[in-house]
Amino acid sequence: MSILVDRNTRLVVQGITGGEGTFHTKQMIEYGTNVVAGVTPGKGGTMYSGNEKDQFKKPVSVYNTVAEAVAKEKANVSVIFVPAGFAADAIMEAADARVKLIVTITEGIPANDMVKVYEYLKVKGVRMIGPNCPGIITPGECKVGIMPGFIHKAGHVGLISRSGTLTYEAVWQLTERGIGQSTCIGIGGDPVIGTRFIDAVKLFNEDPDTHAIIMIGEIGGTAEEEAAEYIKKHVKKPVVGFIAGQTAPPGRRMGHAGAIISGGKGTAAEKFEAFREAGIHVVESPALIGETLERVLKTSKNVRQRRISLRLRKRKTVKAKKTVKKVVKKANTKKPIARKKSKKR
Amino acid sequence: MKIHEYQGKEILRKYNVPVPIGKVAFSVDEAVRAAEAIGGSVWVVKAQIHAGGRGKGGGVKLARNIDEVRERSSEILGMRLVTHQTGPEGKIVKRLLIEQGMNIAKELYVGITLDRGCSQNAIMASTEGGVEIEKVAAETPEKILKEYVHPGLGLQRFQAQKLCFGLGLTGDAFKNGVKFMMSLYKAYEATDASLAEINPLVITQEGDVIALDAKMNFDDNALYRHPEIVEMRDLDEEDPLEVEASKSNLNYIKLDGNVGCMVNGAGLAMGTMDIIKLAGGMPANFLDVGGGANAQTVEAGFRIILKDPNVKAVLINIFGGIVRCDRVATGVVEAAKNVKISVPIVIRLAGTNADLAADILKNSGLRFLVADSLKDAAEKVTKAIAA
């Protein structure tokens, strides 16, 4: 089990014939993702198997529109490599064609375009991951995005992050310790994004195959706080959290458009505080994400086992007490009700 | 991107947002000529720097005759203006804005920005104009009125009216206020601004509604469709090293610590800065070399980092996903031969071909401190700055 993408994913690549699109389509096919179609307006009706630099293992049918790719190839997830100026349009096209998930890799889409796209997606009821993100991967099954596949390992930790390479770092720390991942999502570093921490946390919480969650946040905005509030109320699985940018000065955009402390809001200190209040295991150094998760898993396993053994012991003593009572009761009165009760048990 | 107040007002004027009559001046003589051209009997001399709090710092002064315009202008022009936003080193004033004086009856606040919580633009207004709005928001949030703008439809008249009623405007001031807000939103949207803040927004005794100050920031991602705004960029207001870095397509921000760093990816760069702090140092910069780290970008990065005299050590942290570590390592070795390096360099390369990279670094004959994990890198940085 996993969330959002798996073996049944049928992927359409928007912008497949571009440089980035070609390179990453090749990587995705090699990872085992089921790439069923590509879209490049004007190149519909052709088969594409890469350029001189990057050759696909198998050719992919190209269509003029996403709607065609959905109708003819039953594509259900789209990944977007279209340049920033045309990306908003590409996202809306995919939403209109009713894929169930859109993954937007493109960086540098104007915020005002995204505000409009966000509204459009809400009306259409289609989920998007990104923009400006590495994508989503369910290790061993399906990779939709630009992350290096080999650093991942199938398992039971769900990972959500606002950044790209920092996500790889955290994944690598897990894999090196033999800890696998159920699904890893890079939600993107822009101010307007389709899937927020809270949405991804909900999905991981409901996924029985995800046993623990890692959240990697950044300064700026209040999305981490929002998710922490949810975790406090609803999440029983252990959560480990890190926030990048403890040393970032206010008013400066740290690379990502969304990573900016403005009006004294969105500092790492505030976010860590919200994490602690929600019972999230806070990691202050990005070097210790894997180590902390390993420890948390062990102790939570111990806690779980202790709880189970306590419960068993309790049940035994209760049973014992009840049998004593029963014997006494039996000795005193031989009413059928007592027998009924014991049957129920 | 940030611009000056006078440039912001030029833009607002184009969208029929009322602003005072004013002119920019680069010298005292120009300031005097500007005042004469504007006419009237009271002028305001305003320092033009990319930072708020100019009035408190002595950068905004009233002049009641032409001689006073000359005096005030010569005081402000060239001064080192220190405000709560400039940091203790302040900023040298190189431009002035000369404006007509106003009969101010009321000072209000209006601002438009993206509300990330709901992914919509929000227009905010408050009767508490002329003061730090962050303070108002923190202490008396009920004094800030807010309307969310529908992304497809734009600001509606009833919303502007709600705000103006909320501000207690009546008569001409109310009508003008509604018009002002509608126009301001148009200017914000049409220019792809990320912030349009008018503080104070003044109501004059005549009932006019005028933007006495104007702060406009723009979405960097949308600048490609606004060449006229790109032209307003003032390189004097930016750190020279940052300007140089942007020429090499590097994302560099100067900070005041002692350990330089070079990283691929913004999140990992911030994480690396945090590691430096936990290791007992302070980051001297933020530097994201991006996805395609090669010999040229690494060399440019080295040159920029080492120009900062505070740098006592450099930490290079590259996670090779698509980027191959052996290529980065070759780039680092080449760059190190071309640039004179006098401080210890800690290198951590992980991911694709990391072992090949380690060999290249070891066999280079150069003295790198090679770390095999982020934790190890932090420890090596601690040692390097202690030595």
Dihedral of alpha carbons B254, B271, A101, A78, sign: positive
**What pLDDT is recorded for position A268?**
95
Contact criterion met (CB < 8 Å) for A169 and B114: no
Q: Which residue of B115, B119, B277 is the best one to mutate when testing the A interface, meaning the one whose CB has the most A CBs within 10 A?
A: B119
* C-alpha span between B85 and B184 (Å, rounded): 25
* C-alpha span between B293 and B314 (Å, rounded): 16
B265 in contact with A, Cβ within 8 Å: yes
* C-alpha span between B176 and A101 (Å, rounded): 46
Judged by average pLDDT, the poorest of A207-216, A291-300, B85-94 is B85-94
**What pLDDT is recorded for position A30?**
96
Task: Give the residues of chain B that fall short of pLDDT 70.
Answer: 291-293
**What pLDDT is recorded for position B386?**
85
B15 in contact with A, Cβ within 8 Å: no
**What pLDDT is recorded for position B81?**
95
**What pLDDT is recorded for position A73?**
98
Selected catalytic residue, list B109, B185, B188, B252: B109
Measured between beta carbons, the chain A residues lying within 8 angstroms of B270 are 163, 166, 218-219, 244-245, 247-248, 254-255, 259
Q: Which residues of A are catalytic?
A: 256
Q: Which of B288, B373, B264, B268 is nearest to A175 (CA)?
A: B373
Contact criterion met (CB < 8 Å) for B120 and A115: yes
Nearest to A168 among B272, B286, B321 (CB): B321
List residues bridging with A217 in a β-sheet: A243
Contact criterion met (CB < 8 Å) for A287 and B375: yes
Contact criterion met (CB < 8 Å) for B116 and A222: yes
In terms of residues, how long is chain A? Answer: 345
Measured between beta carbons, the chain B residues lying within 8 angstroms of A192 are 114, 116, 119
B285 in contact with A, Cβ within 8 Å: no
Mean pLDDT of A195-223: 96
Q: Which residue of B223, B268, B325 is the best one to mutate when testing the A interface, meaning the one whose CB has the most A CBs within 10 A?
A: B268
By CA distance, what is A216's nearest residue in B?
A: B267
B219 in contact with A, Cβ within 8 Å: yes
The B residues from 19 to 78 touching A (CB cutoff 8 Å) are none
- Whether A119 and A131 have beta carbons less than 8 Å apart is answered as no
Contact criterion met (CB < 8 Å) for A244 and B271: yes
Measured between beta carbons, the chain B residues lying within 8 angstroms of A169 are 268, 271, 319, 350, 374
Q: Which residue of B132, B153, B199, B274 is the best one to mutate when testing the A interface, meaning the one whose CB has the most A CBs within 10 A?
A: B274
**What pLDDT is recorded for position B139?**
86
By CA distance, what is B264's nearest residue in A?
A: A165
Measured between beta carbons, the chain B residues lying within 8 angstroms of A110 are 192, 219, 221-222, 225
* pTM, rounded to two decimals: 0.90
- Helix, strand counts (H, E) of chain A: 10, 14
Contact criterion met (CB < 8 Å) for A255 and B220: no
CB count in 10 Å sphere of residue B101: 15
Q: pLDDT (tens digit, 9 = 90+) per residue, A235-263?
A: 999 999 999 999 998 888 888 888 888 77
CB count in 10 Å sphere of residue B138: 12
**What pLDDT is recorded for position B387?**
75
* C-alpha span between A109 and A68 (Å, rounded): 25
By CA distance, what is A122's nearest residue in B?
A: B119
Listing DSSP states for A60-123 in one string gives EEEESSHHHHHHHH---EEEE---HHHHHHHHHHHHHTT-SEEEE------HHHHHHHHHHHHH
Mean pLDDT (chain A, rounded): 90
Helix (H) or strand (E) holding A241: strand A239-244
**What pLDDT is recorded for position B298?**
85
- Whether A148 and A261 have beta carbons less than 8 Å apart is answered as no
Nearest CA-CA distance, residue A32 and chain B, Å: 17
Nearest to B267 among A146, A162, A253 (CB): A162
Q: Say whether the ipTM exceeds 0.95.
A: no
Q: Which residue of A146, A247, A265, A294 is the best one to mutate when testing the B interface, meaning the one whose CB has the most B CBs within 10 A?
A: A247
Helices (H), chain B: 5-14, 28-38, 66-76, 133-139, 157-166, 171-190, 227-230, 240-247, 266-278, 295-307, 325-338, 354-362, 374-386
**Residue keyed to tokens 């398992």:** A155
Contact criterion met (CB < 8 Å) for B269 and A115: no
CB count in 10 Å sphere of residue A71: 12
pLDDT at A329 over 80: no
**What pLDDT is recorded for position A317?**
63
CB count in 10 Å sphere of residue A308: 10
Contact criterion met (CB < 8 Å) for B255 and A192: no
Q: pLDDT (tens digit, 9 = 90+) per residue, B307-343?
A: 999 999 999 999 987 778 888 888 889 888 888 888 9
B253 in contact with A, Cβ within 8 Å: yes
A325 pLDDT tier (thresholds 50, 70, 90): low
Q: To the nearest whole percent, how much of chain A has pLDDT over 90?
A: 80
* First-residue to last-residue Cα distance in chain A: 34
Measured between beta carbons, the chain A residues lying within 8 angstroms of B262 are none
**What pLDDT is recorded for position B348?**
94
A82 pLDDT tier (thresholds 50, 70, 90): very high
Residues 6+ apart with CB under 8 A from A36: A10, A11, A12, A60, A61, A69, A73, A74, A75
Nearest CA-CA distance, residue B350 and chain A, Å: 8
A134 pLDDT tier (thresholds 50, 70, 90): very high
Nearest to B275 among A146, A263, A287 (CB): A287
List residues bridging with A326 in a β-sheet: none
**What pLDDT is recorded for position A310?**
63
**What pLDDT is recorded for position B321?**
76
